[in-house]
Structure formats: C-alpha cells, structure tokens
Amino acid sequence: MNDGEIGDSTSLLSSQEFVSSRPTAPASRRAFLQSVAAGSAVVITGAALPFVGYASSAAGADESPTALIGEIVSSDSSSLLLQSSSGKVKVTPIPGARMYSGAFGEATSPIEFINGDRVVAQGLWRNKIFSAAAVGSVYKPFEMTVQSLSDDGSIAHTSAGEVLLGQGRLPYTSDSEQPPPPSVFPGEIVSGLEWQDPKTGDRYLMIAN
C-alpha cells in the first residue's frame, strides 16, 4: 500500500461513519440518509460524502479506486497537499473530477478548498501522486439538544454550541432541490451530519435525520 493510502473503495474502516457509494448525488438530505441506511455505503473514518463511488466509473475496467483522507495543508489551481495519517500526499484532481468544499457546494478548482479542512479523495495512485476523480469535505455525525433558537430561526443554540441551520449548500443538488431549513424546537434532540469551517469555526447542519 502506498503512503497515505487508505484502501480500496470497499474497505470497512469504521463502524460509525459512512460514505455513500452511489455514483450520483442525492436529491435531498433525507435521500442521502436513506441511501446510507439502505446499506449502499462505504465506511471511511470520520467522513461522509454524497458522491464517493464516482471514481469507480472513472477508473479503467482493471483498476480499483482507493480512498484517501487527510487535512488540507495547502492548495493551488491544480492540486491539494494533504496531511494524512502516514505523511503528506499530493492529490491532483483529474479533468472533470467532482469536488465540493464544506457548506459551499461544488468547487471548480482545488484552490477553492480551505486549509485545515478534512477531506476525502477517491481515485488512483499514479507515480506517487494521487489522481482523484472525487474530492470533498468531511461531514461528521452529530447529536445535539436544541436549547434555544435565534430570532430568525437560522441559528440553533445547542448543547454542543451554535449551529447554523439551512445555510449550507448540498453539492450536486440543484437550487430547486436544496431542502429548506430543518424545523427544530427547543428541547428537541437532533442528529445528522454537520460540517465545521476550519477558518471561522462556524458549524453547519448539513443533513438532519
């Protein structure tokens, strides 16, 4: 196995956090969760991606894509440098690669990613460089108790701190399919997937059960 390599796209690395193996993105937050619940998922430590599996269709018939996870150290217009558990790895998205950054939807260039963000890439090793067909930010599982809401309902004050509601954009989901902010109430326990901006510290509720 190469430096930074996690394993092939069917590896089981954690029993709690999921990556959808379907090659197309879900049309809604609930559709994404249902795809995980149905068992069509690859499990990768600390990560949840709508599009992982896309690399399988981009690889050749005799090639098996692998998954890589790490924290972004730097980026430019052509590549990302990730700090993985086994060292620094250069990740170069291939032409047409699917990419998204945090709560901001699709990315068209690696430079749009945020340093310090934790991402998962799926692709192939080529000459010690990881050629990625899919790269996206980690969505982490969470559970919180809502204590109160802001006056406009856009921020939940919770047992885990402030969480932004309905302000994150799901990647590869049209404007008409972007779900409305979740309806939550003080005292309610909410679970789902969140993303935290490493630059501002803001936490976004991306997908709610």
pLDDT tens digits for range 141-167? 889 999 999 999 999 999 989 999 988
Q: What is the rounded average pLDDT of the residues 68-94?
A: 94
Domain co-membership, 11 together with 80 = yes
Residues spanned by the domain of 39: 7-137
Nearest CA among 197, 12, 194 for reference residue 116: 197
Query: Is 94 in the same domain as 165?
Result: no
Which of 121, 137, 153 represents a domain boundary (last residue)? 137
Q: Specify if 1 maps to a domain.
A: no
My answer on whether 28 and 110 are in the same domain is yes
Q: Residue 36's pLDDT is what?
A: 37
Is the pLDDT score of 35 beyond 70? Answer: no
Does this model's pTM top 0.85? My answer is: no
Same domain, 113 and 149: no
Confidence band (pLDDT; 50, 70, 90) for 60? low
Concatenated DSSP letters of the chain: --TT--EETT-B--SS-EEE--SS--SSHHHHHHHHHTT-EEE-TT---SSTTHHHHHS-TT---EEEEEEEEEE-SS-EEEEETTEEEEEEEEEEEEEE-TTB-B-SSGGGS-TT-EEEEEEEEETTEEEEEEEEE--EEEEEEEEEE-TTS-EEEETTEEEEES-SBPTT--GGGSPPPP---TT-EEEEEEEE-TTT--EEEEEE-
The verdict on 118 and 149 lying in the same domain is: no
Task: Say what the pLDDT of residue 52 is.
Answer: 45
Residues of the chain with pLDDT > 90, as a percent, come to: 43
Average pLDDT of span 91-103: 93
Task: Return the pLDDT at 62.
Answer: 52
Q: Name the token pair of 154.
A: 């856009």
CATH number at residue 195: 2.40.50
Residues 39 and 130 in one domain: yes
How would you class 190 by CB atoms within 10 Å of its CB: exposed for 0-12, middle for 13-18, buried for 19 or more? Answer: buried
Task: Indicate whether 99 belongs to any domain.
Answer: yes
Asked if 97 and 132 count as a contact pair (C-beta separation under 8 A), the reply is yes
Tally of domains within the chain: 2
Say whether both 154 and 70 belong to one domain: no
Which position has the higher pLDDT, 20 or 179? 179
